[in-house]
Amino acid sequence: MARTALLRPAEDADADDIASLLIDTRSAFMPYAPSAHPEPELRVWVRTQLVPAGGVWVAEVDGRVVATMATEAAGDASWITQMAVTPALVGRGLGSMLLAHALNTLAPPIRLYCFQQNTGARRFYERHGFVAVEFSDGQGNEEGCPDVMYQLNREAGWPIGRPQSAEATPDPAPLNAPSSAGRS
């Protein structure tokens, strides 16, 4: 039986779950990019800066935060600054649900950074119409890892779907399986 994921704005009470998602995602998918900040410092940043700033959304399954996305408007663009899905649930539509919400609510162009080595995330964004517009050697990010800036313009054809919910197929691993910050 499939479980429905619900999308909602993050609340202060979600900060620890969001921080855990960012930490666990980095550990699972980005071992080449260790966090530039110790875990306790990241947790304080999520609690005191990221969530209170607004633009943070979570996907919940069975009352558990299983994915998150942070967005902001800066200059002439909208940005996706964080995206994380519980590793055991990657490939189940949660990232697409969050991205659909961004595409339906943010003004174009939408930009994001991704580590060049994060091939899974790069394929995901490219599949959704994002185009690489700038590559760097990593000197501009805290981790020092080469990155790529992606951009999506309105011509790419959004909105891409209904962001309200997604089906999350049950996984043999429990939803509390390990699920981290930096460039997605």
What is the reported pLDDT for 131? Answer: 95
What is the reported pLDDT for 144? Answer: 84
Instruction: Give domain status of residue 183, yes or no.
Output: no
Q: Over the stretch 114-152, which tens digit does the pLDDT of each residue have?
A: 999 999 999 999 999 999 999 999 898 888 899 999 999
Q: What six digits make up the tokens of 52?
A: 């209170």
Instruction: Give domain status of residue 136, yes or no.
Output: yes
Q: Does the pTM exceed 0.85? A: no
Q: Please provide the size of the chain in residues.
A: 184
Find the CATH number of the domain harbouring 85.
3.40.630.30
Helix (H) or strand (E) holding 20: helix 15-29
Q: What six digits make up the tokens of 133?
A: 């517009």
Spatial separation of the C-alpha atoms in residues 35 and 143, rounded to whole Å? 7
Residue ranges making up the domain that contains 27: 3-168
Spatial separation of the C-alpha atoms in residues 28 and 31, rounded to whole Å? 7
How many structural domains is the chain composed of? 1
Query: Minimum mean pLDDT among 44-58, 101-115, 165-179: which range?
Result: 165-179
Instruction: Give domain status of residue 113, yes or no.
Output: yes
Instruction: Give domain status of residue 17, yes or no.
Output: yes
Instruction: Give domain status of residue 181, yes or no.
Output: no
Nearest of 25, 127, 39, 119 to residue 69 by alpha carbon: 25
What is the average pLDDT score of the chain?
84
Q: How far is CA 163 from CA 46, 59, 147, in A?
A: 24, 10, 28
Spatial separation of the C-alpha atoms in residues 153 and 7, rounded to whole Å? 24
User: How much is the average pLDDT of 32-43?
Assistant: 90
Instruction: Give domain status of residue 179, yes or no.
Output: no
Spatial separation of the C-alpha atoms in residues 17 and 23, rounded to whole Å? 10
pLDDT of 184 > 60? The answer is: no
Instruction: Give domain status of residue 180, yes or no.
Output: no
- Dihedral sign for Cα atoms in the order 123, 128, 129, 135: negative
Identify whether the C-beta of residue 130 lies closer than 8 Å to the C-beta of residue 122: no
Instruction: Give domain status of residue 101, yes or no.
Output: yes
In degrees, rounded to 5, the angle at the alpha carbon of residue 27 between the alpha carbons of residues 68 and 135 is: 75
